[in-house]
Structures are given as structure tokens and as C-alpha cells.
């Protein structure tokens, strides 16, 4: 299946206060107070049923503002050493798909208010999944090279290195 052409359509859009990646938190943990709105296309509104019983969800989205260059080695925000792109959360990727775990604040119709966002306003939404700690948080996970940068994650913001 190497090189298979895949097509996805946006199911909605993510609204945030960030006009650009520059200065934005690099992960939701970087600024848990940032609220945003997930606006689903009306045709997908019924898919939000029962999600309000979960405290958090996973948003999968298209990195529309990250640029077209997808190098296989990048200098991530939390390190000065080039790393393999698959060992980072860099937005420039062979397939520009991002994910964020956010807190579900409320759901009304086809709109979901969330907190802990780290995406640019107008980001196309691909999917939503409930966050389930028993499924999503292995008890024996290692964080590789990030272990040395753990103390700076909450204060680091994006800069121009991944802009278009």
C-alpha cells in the first residue's frame, strides 16, 4: 500500500485565539486555560451524542498552517538537536495530521467548547475520539529524548521555525 492516495474531508473547524503558530503553546499542557470552539458541520452533530460524559477528547486535525516542507529531521521546540520527525510532535510532517487532548467543557448542538487548545484558528477538524486513560496512557511509557526537556514543556511556545 506504499504511496496509496488517501482522501479525507474536514468534519468541521477548530476556533482558537491564535492567528498564527508563532507564540502559541506547543502542546495543550502549555496553556490549559486557552478555550476554543469546535464547530462541526451540521451533518455530524449527532456524532457528539454521549461525548459530554467524557472529561477529555482527542481532536485529530490537518496542520493547515505548518508549511509544505516536510523534512525527516527537525529541530523541535524543546531541543537544540535535530531529531527524526517521527520522534517529535513537529507540525511539518509527511502527512500533516495533528492531535490534541483537550478538556470537554460543554456541547450544544454541533458546537463543543473545549479547553487546552494548541492549534491555529480555522484548523480543519478530521475526527474526534473520546480520551480513555485505560486505553490511551500506558503505565510503562518512556519519553525518549523529551525526558531531558520535561521541565520546560509548560513554558515553551511555538516560534517561526515551522511557519509556511
Residue pair 112/94 in contact by the 8 Å Cβ criterion: no
Q: What is the pLDDT of residues 13-23, one digit of tens each?
A: 999 988 877 66
Task: Kindly state whether residue 47 falls inside one of the protein's structural domains.
Answer: yes
**Is 151 among the domain residues?**
no
The per-residue pLDDT for range 89-113, each reduced to its tens digit, is: 777 788 889 999 999 999 999 999 9
So what's the pLDDT on residue 24?
Answer: 64
CATH code of the domain containing 69: 2.40.30.70
Predicted local confidence at residue 157, as pLDDT: 52
Q: Is residue 144 part of a domain?
A: no
Which pLDDT belongs to residue 80? 78
Domain membership of residue 23 (yes or no) is yes
Would residue 142 count as lying in a domain? no
Domain assignment present for 160: no
Residue 82 lies in a domain: yes
Assigned domain for 118 exists? yes
Domain encompassing residue 38: 12-133
Q: In which band, very low, low, confident or very high, does the pLDDT at 126 lie, cut at 50, 70 and 90?
A: very high
pLDDT at 150 over 60: no
Query: How many domains, in total, are found in the chain?
Result: 1
User: Does residue 129 have a pLDDT over 80?
Assistant: yes
d(CA 102, CA 105): 9
User: What global pTM score does this model have?
Assistant: 0.78
What the block records as the C-alpha cell of 1 is: 500500500
Residue 155 pLDDT greater than 50, yes or no: no
Whole-number pLDDT of residue 105: 96
Q: Is the pLDDT of residue 143 over 90?
A: no
- Look up residue 56 and give its three cell numbers: 477529555
Could you give phi then psi for residue 115, rounded to 5 degrees? -130, 155
Residue whose entry in the numeric block shows the C-alpha cell 480543519:
124
Place 85 in a pLDDT band, splitting at 50, 70 and 90.
Answer: confident
> What is the per-residue pLDDT for 59?
96
Phi, psi of 82 (to 5 degrees): -60, 140
* Neighbouring residues of 73: CB distance < 8 A, sequence distance ≥ 6: 82, 83, 84, 85
Amino acid at each position: 500500500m506504499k504511496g496509496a492516495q488517501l482522501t479525507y474531508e474536514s468534519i468541521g473547524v477548530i476556533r482558537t485565539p491564535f492567528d498564527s503558530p508563532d507564540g502559541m503553546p506547543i502542546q495543550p499542557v502549555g496553556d490549559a486555560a486557552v478555550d476554543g470552539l469546535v464547530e462541526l458541520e451540521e451533518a455530524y452533530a449527532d456524532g457528539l451524542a454521549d461525548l459530554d460524559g467524557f472529561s477529555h477528547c482527542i481532536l485529530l486535525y490537518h496542520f493547515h498552517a505548518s508549511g509544505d516542507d516536510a523534512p525527516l529531521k527537525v529541530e523541535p521546540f524543546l531541543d537544540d538537536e535535530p531529531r527524526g520527525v517521527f520522534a517529535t510532535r513537529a507540525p511539518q510532517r509527511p502527512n500533516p495530521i495533528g492531535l490534541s487532548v483537550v478538556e470537554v467543557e460543554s456541547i450544544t448542538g454541533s458546537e463543543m467548547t473545549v479547553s487546552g487548545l494548541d492549534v491555529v484558528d480555522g484548523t480543519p477538524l478530521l475526527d474526534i475520539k473520546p480520551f480513555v486513560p485505560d486505553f490511551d496512557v500506558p503505565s510503562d511509557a518512556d519519553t525518549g529524548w523529551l525526558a531531558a526537556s520535561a521541565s520546560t514543556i509548560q513554558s515553551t511556545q511555538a516560534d517561526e521555525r515551522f511557519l509556511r
